[in-house]
Amino acid sequence: MRAILTSALAALLVAILAAVPTPAAATSRIKDLANVEGVRQNQLIGYGLVVGLQGTGDTINNSPFTRQSLQAMLERLGVNIRGQTLRTGNVAAVMVTANLPPFSTQGTRVDVTVSALGDAKSLQGGVLVITPLLAADGNVYAVAQGSLAIGGFQAEGEAAKITRGVPTVGRIANGAIIEREIDFALNRLTQVRLALRNPDFTTAKRIAAAINDFLGMPVAEPLDPSTVQITVPKEYTGNVVGMLTEIEQLQIEPDQLARIIVDERSGIIVMGRDVRVSTVAVAQGNLTVTISEAPQVSQPAPFSRGRTTTVPRTSVGVQEDGRKLAVVREGVSLQQLVDGLNALGIGPRDLIAILQAIKAAGAIQADLEVM
């Protein structure tokens, strides 16, 4: 009976432990942790003219580049205006920018952003005339043209003016047509390199181990904290896309450095989950000095030769809001650290100073980065 009772208690204990929920590890897909080297966007830029503005364009006399561009465009269209006086406010010189997506083909469209270059007041109602878009190699990869959509506006009268948003920046949805493709034969690669968005030795090793376990062979190896190299197996030769499709769905628990980010301008503080603090005592107090003026009027006695005068009366008070020392125990978690600092009743600005002081004392096992 004793043996049966012992076995039953053991089984009951195992069932209870199995029923207790354990915190699940925060995992992410490899797709969200790394990029495939070579698969990226390319930036494009161009210079053009926006026409059709309601007198809110560049001042021709103050913008020589607008004058030259307008003359050159009209000459290409067979109109000669050299030596003529131009007084149009319906034209503005602009810079056109866009991103060329990876594996884009000829004839597909991309969005473009148009920004005023001169002293134009607004691009509302304007139309961008045909503008070539160049990459860093100097070649034209797309051509932009179309009507602008402006998110802001400006209105003014004789003595007042109101502006909402930025009326000198607009956007053209699908405003550029791709004319040249960037060759990148992904399926012909024999090796693929994954670039981690947040370099880390542990994360890189876990990614390589997960890929090797999935493929059943040691084809992935971490080269450094930001790169994992994959040798394409024979069964995936010529089908690198299929291999990457399966690999990028693998779940990985990323590791990260213990770090505290402080933005002194806005008072924002962000702490990582692995931040640890050694035993330290913290006290914080504010010194308030109050100065109040209550001048009094002094009048002379009746039938005297005195004058009415103002006598200054100043009251100065000093109040020190001193709080007791708060002890933060060694090895506390992030939640305990936040609770302990909040117990002091301090604001974000004072908390920034306290964190910097604790870091200077060597009691924070984390990187403190001030933006």
| pLDDT of res. 34 | 92
Tokens read off for 28 = 């992410």
User: pLDDT tens across 208-221, in order?
Assistant: 999 999 999 999 99
Class of domain 186-252: alpha beta
**What is the three-class DSSP state of 31?**
helix
Domain with CATH 3.30.70 in the chain: 186-252
Contacts of 155 (CB under 8 A, 6+ apart): 161, 162
Q: Which amino acid is at 221?
A: E
Alpha-carbon distance of 45 to 62, in angstroms, equals 24
Residue 107 has pLDDT above 70, yes or no: yes
Alpha-carbon distance of 88 to 155, in angstroms, equals 20
**Residues of the chain with pLDDT > 70: what percent?**
75
Contacts of 291 (CB under 8 A, 6+ apart): 314, 315, 316, 317
Using pLDDT thresholds of 50, 70 and 90, give the confidence band for residue 346: low
Using pLDDT thresholds of 50, 70 and 90, give the confidence band for residue 148: very high
User: pLDDT tens across 77-95, in order?
Assistant: 888 877 777 778 899 999 9
**Average pLDDT of the residues in 280-303:** 64
**Residues of the chain with pLDDT > 90: what percent?**
36
Q: Which of 196, 49, 194, 211 is nearest to 126 (CA)?
A: 49
Crossing angle (nearest 10°) for helices 240-247 and 201-215: 120
**Average pLDDT of the residues in 34-52:** 92
| pLDDT of res. 158 | 62
Burial 267-278 (b: 16+ CB within 10 A, else e): eebebeeebebe
**Average pLDDT of the residues in 360-366:** 79
| pLDDT of res. 271 | 78
Alpha-carbon distance of 261 to 8, in angstroms, equals 53
Q: Tell me the H-state helices in the chain.
A: 2-19, 30-33, 64-76, 201-215, 240-247, 334-342, 348-360
User: Which H, E and C letters describe 290-356, residue by residue?
Assistant: EEEECCEEECCCCCCCCCCEEECCEEEEEEEEECCCEEECCCCCHHHHHHHHHCCCCCHHHHHHHHH
User: Which of 16-25, 119-128, 145-154, 299-308 holds the top average pLDDT?
Assistant: 119-128
Distance of CA 265 to the CA centre of its chain: 16
User: pLDDT tens across 243-282, in order?
Assistant: 999 999 999 998 888 888 888 777 777 877 777 777 777 6
**Average pLDDT of the residues in 108-116:** 95
Tokens read off for 256 = 């990260």
**What is the three-class DSSP state of 35?**
strand
Distance of CA 256 to the CA centre of its chain: 19
Q: Please answer whether residues 167 and 152 qualify as being in contact, where contact means their C-beta atoms are separated by less than 8 angstroms.
A: yes
Using pLDDT thresholds of 50, 70 and 90, give the confidence band for residue 15: very low
Higher pLDDT, 7 or 157: 157
**Average pLDDT of the residues in 306-313:** 72
Residue 28 has pLDDT above 80, yes or no: yes
Residue 163 has pLDDT above 90, yes or no: no
